[in-house]
A and B are shown apart, each in its own frame.
Chain A
């Protein structure tokens, strides 16, 4: 009896987790004209159509740009920050830790509105610049946290050993610290990439005429055209995320770091 209940719970959980994904895959593979489930016959034409929509291509490129370079920038800022928080007793370091984590806690809508109202409008930033800064800021907490946890496991005396063998402080960091937190850095990159790529609320406020990230563009598209191509695109994006996570797991056991 208990065994049966266990299986039931497991089955329901999987249904809730995977169900929507399956619905989207099939809704996108519809042969009909509008978004529907179950689909009216099967066809790959909507999957093909995605690639012909001009605005999708532009917004995909923008989202890619933001996810890759925003995350890289966040790592360039976040790795030294995590290092300093881990290795030195800083005045008010608990406060810094809390502030760094703030974008995770504060709802995206508020972050987006605040950035729009107090940065973009008064300082007259371009839309792309504003989006880039917002995405960097959003990803920064993940960079600091994930890198912090791998630094935490790395003993400080290893760097001292490297220094006594002739390294400068910077060389010790590059030759000893970095190779040993490589997994954490990659994990932070993937987490940041996915977070940035799927980000809606902040981008919603900051997107401007002709400059939209892909999720915002998909929302806009759906308001006008209710065809299955959005579902097809969603399915492909989900596969992209899955592929990245799978590759990372295969390469270095990604789940250990998150």
Chain B
């Protein structure tokens, strides 16, 4: 365990004159499920395409299993990729889609047959072998694309936004499915996503990216509870972030005095970390919505807009009325500038 399988060093990727990823270093451990997380344009997809060999790096090195593959073409790297659009071959049956790569290796017909059938069964599509991709549902197409990559026994399986095209119920099902497949096959998975909930739920480790650089790398728990930067904090749901200046919280809209020592240049709170109903500050309710276990308020305060969650037991405060709130030190996440 914890052996490095894929190693990116000094990887620089550009499209024409635009540098998408400058100088990236990343080690991917054998058998892990790692997420490349970030907003669109952060370089996560570009990085994934470079690992696959679909994009040649401007400079830097990619090694897989200790072997330098930087100049090895995509069809000789032994890497699988499940595309966001699945990219199934519409003219071939489900069976032939999965058998496609095996046939290219000129394996014996019996082996192709048995490996394809096993692959199709692994993703729960037994009985659908004769269907064309267009005759399968979105979730089934996704699983077929997964099987097509898995039968090749790739060293690394890359997944591009694997859950984004599925509806909420299927998304949960596919999430479980991916974890199960990873458990059964032990294949190293790298998946790209812009959805932090997806990354938190699935990944062993998360690489949070911003403008082609790694903003923070850690376990889901580390990123969720201890974001290191304002960007990471915002991405992880700390929606209220303020500067600390002269014992006061400061935003572009104004400031509020602090009753405690901040100890950091920035403080951040999740909506759930803001206490509503009592406290030294007050804000006018701009928006209020029911969210099951709690009520979500948007308050207009001296610091501008504040997002705050109130327990559902407390009576609802009508729009336009003022409510007391506090930004306690205990729920604040201190951040470096």
Contacts and interface: CB of A to CB of B under 8 A. Distances in A.
Nearest to A158: B87
A157 B87 contact: yes
A180 B104 contact: no
A64 to B, nearest CB: 31
B104 A161 contact: no
A168 B53 CA distance: 13
Contact of B100 (A155, A157, A162): A162
A179 interface: yes
A165 B148 contact: yes
A171 interface: yes
B104 A171 contact: yes
Contacts of A165: 75, 100-101, 104, 148-149, 152
A180 B148 contact: no
A176 interface: yes
Contact of B87 (A161, A171, A175): A161
Interface stretch (B1-9, B77-85, B176-184, B232-240): B77-85
Interface string B95-121: 000001100110000000000000000
Given A160-B83, A161-B81, A161-B83, A166 B91 contact: no
A113 interface: no
Contacts of B83: 157, 160-161
Interface in B56-95: 74-75, 79-81, 83, 85, 87-91
B105 A164 contact: no
A163 B74 contact: yes
A161 B53 CA distance: 12
Contacts of B74: 160, 163-164
B87 A163 contact: no
Interface string B42-59: 000000000011100000
A157 B85 contact: yes
Given A164-B80, A165-B148, A155 B54 contact: no
Interface string A128-168: 00000000000000000000000000010110111111111
Contacts of B87: 155, 157-158, 160-161
A155 B133 CA distance: 14
Contacts of B104: 165-167, 171
Contact of B85 (A155, A163, A171, A180): A155
Contact of B91 (A157, A160, A171, A180): A180
A62 to B, nearest CB: 37
B81 A164 contact: yes
A162 B79 contact: no
A180 B91 CA distance: 6
Interface of B: 52-54, 74-75, 79-81, 83, 85, 87-91, 100-101, 104-105, 148-149, 152
Interface of A: 155, 157-158, 160-168, 171, 175-176, 179-180
